[in-house]
Amino acid sequence: MNKLRLPFYLLALIIIAIGCGEDEPKPTVQELTLPKLVKTWTLTAITLDNVNKKTATEYNNFKLSISGVYAKATPDAEYSYSVSGRTQLSPWPASGKWKFDTTSPETTILRDKGTDNELQMTYKVTDTSLEITFNYQGTGIAGRSEVVKGQWVMTFN
């Protein structure tokens, strides 16, 4: 009888050993968040220093398109963005690059790192909405920087 139990115990031990392999690594914030960000977002509300900027002529057709594919080998990669329907006096260039801020990727991105348009932005994203907040102090994409300087809050769906 003992001879019959030995193969059974050996088989059970092998199955347990195989099942105790390494756990899959947890997905990074970037890996979980990027698919939510990648789409074309339509602006629903915009304020500059708590003043509404969305009117029939300003920011009425503004869209932000975010693109990119996450790669585990390059978790701190840059991704692309483009905007359409921007006004002449805009804190946004027509297109550029962005990346997750390495110190707080769950809430902060860096737009156009290493350029004159570099800007740290705070974001909140769900599957259906995006809010971006930033303090723009640049020279203005089309000049007249005093018109675009300040605290911006942009809401998209």
> Can you list the residues of the chain whose pLDDT is less than 50?
none
Hey, what domains does the chain have and what are their CATH numbers?
Answer: 27-156 (2.40.128)
One-letter amino acid for residue 6 of the chain? L
Short-list 90, 101, 41, CA closest to 67: 41
| pLDDT for the residue numbered 18 | 61
Token digits of residue 56: 């029939």
Written as one letter, the residue type at 45 is A
pLDDT at res. 76: 87
pLDDT of residue 25: 82
Query: 25-34: long-range contacts at Cβ-Cβ below 8 A with a sequence spacing of 24 or more?
Result: 28/75, 28/105, 29/100, 29/105, 29/106, 30/70, 30/75, 30/76, 30/100, 30/105, 31/70, 31/72, 31/75, 33/100, 33/105, 33/106, 33/125, 34/68, 34/69, 34/70, 34/79
What's the pLDDT score for residue 88? 76
